[in-house]
Amino acid sequence: MKKNIENKTPSLLLLIVLIGVPQISETIFSPSLPSITEAFETSMSHTQLTMSVYFIAFAFGVFFFGRLSDNIGRRKAMLYGLILYFVGNTLCLIANGMAVLLVARFIQAFGVSVGSIVTQTILRESFSGVERHKLFAQISATLAFTPAIGPLIGGFIDYYLGFKVVFLVLVIMSVIVFCYALLRLPETSLTTIEKKPLRPIVKRMITNARLWRYGVLIGGINGVLFSYYAEAPFIFTQYFTLTSAMYGFLGITVALASIAGAMLSKRLVSHTKPEKIIVHGLVIMLIGTLFATLVHFLPISLQIPAMIVSVFIILLGTGTALPNCLSLALNDFQDVIGSAGAIFSLGYYLLVSATVYGMSIFHNGTVLAMPLYVLTLGIVMLFISLSLLYKKDALLKKLNRK
């Protein structure tokens, strides 16, 4: 048992870097999917497995490192994960076939997951209430640049230098981020660092219906986002015949949509219940999805701009809903936030993986596959979000009567 004596809050910039690295690691890779398909002489569906494997590994990684951070501290867990991330990136660089690449992607994702789970744990244990809602929204808005930077950099590198150089960039990035964390990340755990029994935490979580609903929402919203990253390269580079470099510029659309959604969420949270903001975000997402289903029936000259507008509306909705889901999900588990966050993240990232895998099954080379798939997911999530809102309203009325 070791007493935490530092108990400092790291800089906002460091938190953004650490939580943004997993996003960049995924999005910088997506423009290279068609190139990898050709280079390794495989099918598009098989190449999309690199996305599903990534999230399976990420799911187990967030559980492992979230649990580890409760046992040895946030700082040590972060550094160990970043070392493993470097190893995975190096293996991606030297991979010469799909089997090796899948193993490398597993290691890469397992390691980099530490940036997500430990950083969220630091945020949840250091801030509370409206301040925490606003901080999640602020970080979400800032992180919206990573979906722009990732595909933009990845698209240009893939087009001019090849996908292997994309992996080289990730190797260099992993070294830089490790050094930054080594020098600037303090230990932030507010409690004595010790092993906590896992069984009672799991039992509490399994019996918490509210937590299950938020898990489905977070997993589904992230699943929509990364299903887009899995399918969009094929839509825009093969169906619409854009180059990978041109596709990279579409990341700006993703960034603007995510920024707008996060800023809308931050603006609304001061006077609107977070549960209601989630409903609003999912309605916006469904409007964009319905618009996307009509793209196929438009004249060819209008299809690309219409699809871009549709994607903007879809991601505006996800950007509005997601920060509030993340902020509210573990309110009942503040006393075991590291381990609870690990178990919870394991569950919803497995759902993300299953959702992305579902997109690879639905892939059929047409522009309709993604919007129809997302429409189905969105309807399910809207009903879940409405149940959370109405249950909260019913509880508040009951308390007011007392």
For 305-321, the DSSP string reads HHHHHHHHHHHHHHHHH
Q: pTM here?
A: 0.74
Cα gap 80→83, rounded to integer Å:
5
* Count of beta carbons in the 10 Å neighbourhood of residue 197: 9
DSSP, collapsed to helix, strand or coil, labels residue 148 as helix
pLDDT at 109: 95
| Spans of all domains in the chain | 12-186+196-397
Cα gap 352→358, rounded to integer Å:
10
What string of pLDDT tens digits covers the 402 residues of the chain? 344 434 467 777 888 899 889 888 888 888 888 889 888 888 877 887 888 898 889 889 988 998 888 888 889 999 999 999 999 999 999 998 899 999 999 999 999 999 988 988 887 776 666 666 666 667 766 666 676 678 888 888 988 899 999 999 999 999 999 999 999 988 877 654 556 678 888 999 999 999 999 999 999 998 998 888 888 888 888 888 888 778 877 877 877 888 888 789 888 888 888 899 999 999 999 999 999 999 888 898 899 999 999 999 999 999 899 988 988 888 888 777 767 888 888 888 889 889 988 988 888 878 899 999 999 999 999 999 999 888 765 554 554 555
In 3-state terms the chain splits into helix, strand, coil percentages (rounded to 5) of: 85, 0, 15
DSSP, collapsed to helix, strand or coil, labels residue 24 as helix
Torsion sign, CA atoms 304, 307, 313, 314: negative
Total residue count of the chain as it appears in this document: 402
Query: CATH topology for 12-186+196-397?
Result: Growth Hormone; Chain: A; (1.20.1250)
Cα gap 390→395, rounded to integer Å:
9
pLDDT at 130: 62
CB half-sphere exposure, 85, CA atoms < 13 A: 33
Residue type, 2: K
Residues 6+ apart with CB under 8 A from 335: none
**Separation of CA 402 from chain center:** 41
**Separation of CA 122 from chain center:** 17
pLDDT at 59: 86
> Which residue is it, tokens 């530092």?
6
